[in-house]
Structures are given as structure tokens and as C-alpha cells.
């Protein structure tokens, strides 16, 4: 059983929004398992939806590069937001993002690529920047999308400089229409994804493990109602269908006009252009997802409950 520390209680509280005593009890009930504790709190109605899970803040920048039918994102972390506003750090992220399409999503390959301005590899350039800036820096991840025909659209939320910000989105549009005619739709879709946080393009693409996790939670919640099993089964199926609609891009209400779903918007644009338009894939990268950000004040407060 994992030790139930003040830091673990604090992390669970940040993930769920539940009270500290409830977080401590959930960890005790699940033997210190963080993911299990999140589910325990949700089953008891004490936590927010799973959408909040794993979105702990960290510092640094997301970098984006669009090159024709290709696009790439990178996340470079720093210890403080002050460094994220530093021109040296921003230039570093810009250079790394510029190389990212060539790495095609391979993080090790990206680290080994050379920055033309200095001749150093990305890994060596980060080491050099650490010495100059005085903080620990890390190239954490990269993502890549391409299409054969159509366009790659991008959007950067909380942009601090061109192609640099806190949330980056790439979306691939497959179509015979000229990219210029797809540009507005592409940007709107990328902005929608940034705001609505879908898990997949279609329900068939949603991770089966995620669906089963939600089904188990819905089942326990439904059985607490005391209704007959036949009705409970229908309740569970209904909640799973609703969940899939919420996390599937094509079934989400369009952020610009919530009376329409994204799939309807794509159909309408396709008819107007005289050719089909479909989303092949998207990537949404938010700074600090899954990284615990230290908070001394909160840790001290939680410590009182774990002694």
C-alpha cells in the first residue's frame, strides 16, 4: 500500500476538487492508489467529472509549427512561468518546434536533431539553455499530424508569441477543396477542440478502457438508486451513450452554434464546397497535463490532516 502523504492528498484534491478530508478517506479506502481514489470520490458524488483528471498545472510553453500538409506540437517545460516569458526560452521553444515536423512525433529523434543557428543538437541546446537561464528545462513530448489532401489547421491558446502558448491544437482536414477554402473551418475546429476537449473524432476511436471505467462508475451510481436490474441496465447504457457524445468531436455541440453538432457543420461546409470534408485526426496539447506543480502553502495545510 502506498504511503498516504500530504503531497498525495494535495494532488488528489487538485485533480478532483473534493475536500481534503474526503480525499484522505478516499486514499485510505483505495490503499493510496490515486486513480482508484478519483473513481471512489466520483462514485460517492464527491468529485468533479473525469475531464479534470490529470490537468495539473506546470510551467513552460507549447510550440507549434505548420508546414503545408504537416503540423507538429512540442511541450518544453520550465520551473517557473517567469522563464516562460524569457526571450531566450521562447527562442529555444521556437527552434525546437521548427524541427518537430521532421521528427514526425519521435521524441528521441527530435532530441538528436541539430539546430542550424548553433549546430548543437536539441538535447545539447537545452543543456546550454539551462546554464544560461538557471532553471531546469525539459523537452517533454511532441506530436505530429499530416494529411494527403486538405490541410492541417492549428490554434494556440494564451499565445505569448507567434506559435507559442499554453494550449496548442492541430486538426487534420481531408478534402479535395483548396486549403484556402478550408482555412476558416480549420481554425474554428481547432478553437472548438481547445475549448471542448474531445477524446476522439468518433465514438469508435474512444479508448475502450476509458469507456469501461466510466461504465463501472455509472453502474455503481445507478445501483445506488435501488431500481430493478433491467432498468439499471438501461440507465447505464444511456449514460454511456451520453458520455460518448460528450467526448466525441463529431457529436459535440458546435461551440459557435450549440444548436448544431460538429458533424452537421462538416456536412454543411462540404455541400457548400461541392466536396466532402472530414476530420482525420486531431491533437490537443495542454501545458503541464499530468505534472504535479508544487504548492508549499497547500502542502502545509494538508500536512495537518496526515499526521
User: Model's pTM, two decimal places?
Assistant: 0.74
How far apart CA 155 and CA 187 sit, in angstroms, is 6
Q: For the chain, what is the domain count?
A: 2
Q: Which of 41-55, 158-172, 253-267 has the lowest mean pLDDT?
A: 41-55
Q: Is residue 213 part of a domain?
A: no
The phi, psi pair for 67, rounded to 5°, reads -135, 90
CATH number at residue 96: 3.30.479.20
- Residues 5, 79 within the same domain: no
- Residues 97, 175 within the same domain: yes
- Residues 173, 103 within the same domain: yes
How far apart CA 109 and CA 139 sit, in angstroms, is 12
- Residues 102, 192 within the same domain: yes
Q: Is residue 174 part of a domain?
A: yes
- Cell matching residue 299: 502542502
Domain extent, residue 132, equals: 59-200+279-286
Q: Is residue 214 part of a domain?
A: no
Q: Is residue 152 part of a domain?
A: yes
- Residues 42, 93 within the same domain: no
Q: Is residue 141 part of a domain?
A: yes
Q: Is residue 189 part of a domain?
A: yes
Query: Using one digit for the tens of pLDDT, what is the confidence trace for 83-105?
Result: 889 999 999 999 999 999 999 99
Q: What is the mean pLDDT of residues 19-25?
A: 81
Of 240, 243, 242, 248, which Cα lies nearest the Cα of 282? Answer: 248
Query: Using one digit for the tens of pLDDT, what is the confidence trace for 241-294?
Result: 888 889 999 999 999 999 999 999 999 999 999 999 999 999 999 998 877 665
- Residues 143, 180 within the same domain: yes
Q: Give Rg (Cα) of the chain.
A: 22
- Residues 65, 104 within the same domain: yes
For the four alpha carbons of 91, 96, 102 and 105, in that order, the dihedral sign comes to negative
CATH number at residue 6: 1.10.8.10
Amino acid at each position: 500500500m502506498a504511503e498516504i502523504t500530504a503531497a498525495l492528498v494535495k494532488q488528489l484534491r487538485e485533480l478532483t476538487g473534493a475536500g481534503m478530508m474526503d480525499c484522505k478517506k478516499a486514499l485510505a479506502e483505495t490503499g493510496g492508489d490515486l486513480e482508484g481514489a478519483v473513481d471512489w470520490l466520483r462514485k460517492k458524488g464527491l468529485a468533479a467529472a473525469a475531464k479534470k483528471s490529470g490537468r495539473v498545472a506546470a510551467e513552460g510553453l507549447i510550440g507549434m509549427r505548420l508546414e503545408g500538409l504537416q503540423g507538429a506540437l512540442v511541450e518544453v517545460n520550465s520551473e517557473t512561468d517567469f522563464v516562460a516569458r524569457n526571450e531566450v526560452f521562447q527562442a529555444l521553444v521556437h527552434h525546437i518546434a521548427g524541427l518537430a515536423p521532421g521528427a514526425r512525433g519521435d521524441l528521441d529523434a527530435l532530441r538528436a536533431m541539430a539546430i542550424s543557428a548553433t549546430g548543437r543538437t536539441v538535447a545539447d541546446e537545452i543543456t546550454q539553455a539551462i546554464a544560461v537561464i538557471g532553471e531546469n528545462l525539459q523537452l517533454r513530448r511532441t506530436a505530429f499530424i499530416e494529411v494527403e489532401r486538405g490541410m492541417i489547421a492549428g490554434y494556440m491558446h494564451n499565445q505569448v508569441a507567434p506559435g507559442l502558448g499554453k494550449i496548442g491544437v492541430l486538426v487534420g482536414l481531408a478534402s479535395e477543396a483548396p486549403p484556402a477554402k478550408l482555412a476558416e473551418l480549420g481554425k474554428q475546429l481547432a478553437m472548438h477542440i481547445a475549448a471542448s476537449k474531445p477524446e476522439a473524432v468518433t465514438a469508435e476511436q474512444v479508448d475502450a478502457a476509458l469507456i469501461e471505467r466510466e461504465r463501472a462508475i455509472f453502474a455503481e451510481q445507478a445501483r445506488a438508486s435501488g431500481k430493478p436490474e433491467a432498468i439499471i441496465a438501461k440507465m447505464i447504457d444511456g449514460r454511456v451513450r451520453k458520455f460518448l457524445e460528450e467526448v466525441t468531436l463529431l457529436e459535440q455541440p458546435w461551440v459557435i452554434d450549440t444548436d448544431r453538432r460538429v458533424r452537421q457543420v462538416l456536412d454543411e461546409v462540404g455541400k457548400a464546397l461541392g466536396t466532402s470534408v472530414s476530420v482525420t485526426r486531431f491533437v490537443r496539447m495542454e501545458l503541464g497535463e499530468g505534472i504535479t506543480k508544487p504548492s508549499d502553502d497547500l502542502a502545509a495545510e494538508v500536512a495537518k490532516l496526515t499526521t
